[in-house]
């Protein structure tokens, strides 16, 4: 195939181009449209299908509708404690402060949340949140979020480009000025010129075999930003959700919402023992029930009782399940039992957890109103991602912004359930606003034709070469390798093995061959995504190797426990001058005094006003 003439490429010009149309991307695009900008929104799939639909439990916002003791400071404190104090202070503050207004705005746009008895937005309990805080719709809150933004967004004059995959960002000097992609339908290339670009592309869970993520989660944004010179950070923190399905094999990893535990579900091993009481970390002991009797009182609404240990943060619960299975106390198919059947009447289970009921009935032939579910950890979420400015969400590359899962900072070493959907709407809006502000101050730059041609060559070579590796096989090998060597419990020699194997896989991926034409060709798409998956996987592995402690979602068998020394650092990743991956730890700036006092306060002192009263 001869190189095409760049001037003949189909070209769109926007003030702001948003890449990714899940919750963050849609919210960013809506923000841009509200400021009168010509806004393009690119989605890899059809509109409304992004992975946000998989979010089940709810979105965290301290509205205090169910328990009036809740406020932003308690939410902020929970987020910092959940993130093991490695979060970006400013992002955790903005998130806790702005989430309630972002949630109310969704109601204005048509979202219909479950209600309290007095008709307000109801809020449910979730792991790590001190008070009932998650606005929700049964167990399909993500669908409600994405559909609300979609239905609102289509009336705002946003140009939606569906089933379009972006291959790389285009630069003019240091600045990002556009992107090059292809249409899935035809395989034709398309050029986007923009004054500012927002990445909202999610994580890279597809690099693991057991994951709750779909094919789209190939780390496109992480890799494109990295190639464009942006810094990544905190990549060692990959969240394993404690409860994924484990049987049958075809659905291994599919998410089982934390809402099951929020509504009273308990975890048992094969001996029938409720084992979480044996895994309560010291830091959380004063706020966690130490007997079944107390946990049950809490569930019934006794405000003097402490929370059940099943609602500890995800890192803690996932490790506990892993330990039970390793000790030989696991379920038939290598998980543990999650029991809601003995806790709630059948009708209430169907009402509160309808998708879970159907999911197990139809995919596992298990009736969760009579039998326990078998569950185990599944790779779910990237806390780390592209480094951004807390207020504007701009990356370290001018004109390039990032929001949602592909951005880093808010969640630190571990994300609380429910803080993701609120992250999307708070920082999606901020990224949109930030991008518009940039677009106001800058003209569109120059497109570098040579760069465009080299991206096209890289893509078409996959189809043109005579023979080469099967991209599906390379992807499967990567997934197996990462699940084996960079799993929930990590150790130096396995991480080193992973680094070596990644070099081999990169060579294989570079020779991947797709057959037939470029029109809607799954093999070609898989081959193209490999580069991004591999960059993301390598970043996780190298960061995990460097962090010699166990904190949050990052657990090193050879370095157990949190080390105070390591609380001082974040790990950054950048592309070196010769294309090599550079990993370094850098000292964190100290947090603002008032916020630090709140984060580390005793809850009684915070609520009495003895701590944090002066912080507005």
Partner 1 sequence: MATRTFRVWRGDKDGGEFKEYTVETQPGMVVLDGIHRIQAEHAGDLAVRWNCKAGKCGSCSMEINGKPRLSCMTRLNSLPEGTITVQPLKTFPLIKDLVTDVKWNYEQNKRIPPLKPRAREADGHHRMMQEDVDRVQEFRKCIECFLCQDVCHVLRDHHKHDQFVGPRFMIRLAQLEMHPLDTEDRIPKIRKEFGSGWCNITRCCTEVCPEHIGITDNGIIPMKERVVDRYYDPIAWFFKKVFGASNK
287 binds partner 1, rule: CB under 8 A: no
- Shortest Å distance, C-beta 453 to partner 1: 25
Nearest-CA neighbor of 315 among 45, 86, 71, 582?
Answer: 86
Residue 170 φ/ψ, nearest 5 degrees:
-110, 140
Given the residues 14, 209, 241, 252, select the one marked as catalytic: 241
Out of 391, 440, 476, 504, the only residue in the binding site for partner 1 (CB under 8 A) is 476
- Shortest Å distance, C-beta 163 to partner 1: 8
Neighbouring residues of 217: CB distance < 8 A, sequence distance ≥ 6 = 51, 202, 203, 204, 205, 206, 211
Burial 157-187 (b: 16+ CB within 10 A, else e): ebebbbbbbbbbbbbbeebbbbbbbbbbeeb
**474 CB-contact burial (10 Å; exposed 0-12 / middle 13-18 / buried 19+):** buried
* Structural contact between residues 17 and 194, judged by C-beta atoms closer than 8 angstroms: yes
Out of 290, 292, 302, 362, the only residue in the binding site for partner 1 (CB under 8 A) is 362
Out of 3, 10, 11, 46, the only residue in the binding site for partner 1 (CB under 8 A) is 46
- Shortest Å distance, C-beta 254 to partner 1: 5
Binding to partner 1 (CB under 8 A) within 1-40 occurs at none
Neighbouring residues of 489: CB distance < 8 A, sequence distance ≥ 6 = 319, 322, 555, 557
| Between 211 and 396, CB nearer to partner 1 | 211
Out of 359, 378, 532, 550, the only residue in the binding site for partner 1 (CB under 8 A) is 359
522 binds partner 1, rule: CB under 8 A: yes
Binding to partner 1 (CB under 8 A) within 135-194 occurs at 137-138, 140, 142-144, 147, 151-152, 154-155, 160, 162, 185
**Terminal CA-to-CA distance of the chain, rounded, Å?**
62
Length of the chain: 616
Residue 69 annotated in active site: no
Binding to partner 1 (CB under 8 A) within 394-413 occurs at none
Give the pairing of strands 159-161 and 164-172.
unpaired
Residue span 455-474 as binding mask against partner 1, x where in contact by CB under 8 A, dash where not: ---------------xxxx-
Binding to partner 1 (CB under 8 A) within 244-273 occurs at 247-251, 254-255
Which residue stretch of 353-361, 531-539, 558-566, 593-601 sits at the interface with partner 1 (rule: CB under 8 A)? Answer: 353-361
The count of chain residues that interact with partner 1, using the rule CB under 8 A, is: 67
Neighbouring residues of 382: CB distance < 8 A, sequence distance ≥ 6 = 202, 203, 204, 205, 222, 235, 237, 238, 239, 405, 406
Element (H, E) at 172: strand 164-172
Residue 241 annotated in active site: yes
| Max Cα-Cα span within the chain | 73
Residues annotated as catalytic are: 241, 261
Please report, as ranges, the residues that interact with partner 1 according to CB under 8 A. 45-51, 53-54, 104, 107-110, 112, 114-115, 118-120, 137-138, 140, 142-144, 147, 151-152, 154-155, 160, 162, 185, 214-216, 247-251, 254-255, 354-355, 358-359, 362-364, 470-473, 476, 514-517, 519-524, 526
């Amino acid at each position: 195939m001869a190189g095409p003439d760049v001037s003949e490429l189909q070209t769109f010009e926007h003030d702001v181009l948003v890449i990714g149309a899940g919750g963050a991307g849609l919210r960013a695009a809506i923000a841009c449209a509200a400021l009168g900008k010509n806004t393009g929104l690119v989605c890899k799939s059809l509109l409304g299908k992004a992975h946000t639909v998989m979010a089940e439990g709810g979105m965290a916002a301290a509205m205090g509708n169910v328990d009036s003791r809740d406020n932003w400071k308690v939410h902020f404190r929970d987020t910092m404690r959940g993130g093991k104090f490695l979060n970006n202070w400013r992002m955790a503050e903005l998130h806790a402060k702005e989430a309630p207004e972002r949630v109310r705005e969704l109601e204005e746009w048509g979202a219909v949340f479950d209600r309290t008895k007095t008709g307000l937005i109801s809020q449910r309990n979730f792991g790590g949140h001190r008070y009932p805080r998650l606005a929700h719709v049964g167990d399909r809150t993500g669908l409600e979020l994405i559909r609300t933004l979609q239905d609102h967004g289509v009336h705002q004059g946003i140009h939606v480009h569906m089933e379009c995959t972006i291959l790389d960002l285009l630069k003019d000097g240091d600045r990002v000025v556009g992107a090059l992609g292809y249409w899935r339908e035809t395989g034709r290339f398309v050029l986007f010129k923009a004054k500012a670009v927002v990445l909202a592309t999610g994580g890279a869970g597809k690099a693991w075999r057991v994951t709750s993520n779909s094919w789209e989660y190939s780390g496109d944004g992480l890799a494109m930003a990295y190639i464009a010179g942006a810094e990544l950070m905190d990549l060692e923190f990959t969240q394993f959700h404690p409860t994924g399905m484990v049987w049958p094999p075809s659905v291994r990893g599919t998410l089982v919402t934390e809402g099951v535990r929020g509504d009273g579900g308990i975890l048992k091993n094969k001996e029938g023992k409720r084992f979480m009481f044996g895994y309560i970390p010291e830091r959380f002991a004063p706020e966690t029930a130490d007997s079944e009797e107390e946990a049950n009182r809490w569930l019934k609404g006794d405000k003097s009782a402490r929370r059940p240990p099943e609602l500890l943060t995800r890192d803690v619960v996932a490790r506990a399940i892993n330990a039970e299975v390793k000790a030989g106390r696991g379920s038939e198919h290598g998980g543990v039992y999650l029991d809601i059947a003995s806790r709630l009447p059948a009708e209430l289970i169907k009402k509160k957890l309808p998708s879970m009921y159907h999911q197990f009935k139809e995919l596992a032939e298990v009736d969760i109103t009579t039998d326990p579910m078998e569950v185990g950890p599944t790779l779910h979420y990237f806390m780390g991602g592209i480094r951004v400015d807390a207020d504007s969400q701009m990356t370290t590359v001018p004109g390039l912004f990032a929001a949602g899962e592909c951005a880093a900072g808010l969640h630190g070493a571990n994300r609380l359930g429910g803080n993701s959907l609120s992250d999307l709407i708070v920082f999606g809006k901020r990224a949109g606003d930030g991008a518009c502000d940039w677009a106001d101050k800058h003209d569109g730059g120059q497109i570098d034709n040579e760069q465009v041609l080299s991206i096209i060559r890289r893509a078409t070579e996959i189809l043109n070469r005579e023979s080469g590796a099967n991209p599906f096989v390379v992807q499967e090998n990567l997934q197996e390798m990462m699940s084996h060597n960079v799993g929930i419990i990590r150790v130096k020699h396995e991480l080193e093995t992973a680094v070596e194997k990644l070099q081999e896989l990169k060579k294989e991926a570079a020779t991947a061959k797709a057959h037939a034409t470029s029109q809607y060709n799954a093999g070609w798409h898989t081959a193209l995504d490999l580069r991004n998956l591999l960059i993301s996987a390598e970043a996780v592995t190298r960061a995990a190797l460097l962090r010699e402690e166990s904190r949050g979602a990052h657990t090193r068998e050879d370095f157990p426990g949190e080390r105070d020394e390591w609380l001082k650092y974040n790990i950054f990743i950048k592309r070196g001058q010769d294309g090599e991956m550079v990993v370094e730890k850098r000292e964190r700036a100290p947090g603002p005094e008032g916020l630090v006092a709140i984060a580390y306060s005793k809850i009684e002192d915070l609520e009495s006003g003895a701590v944090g009263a002066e912080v507005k």
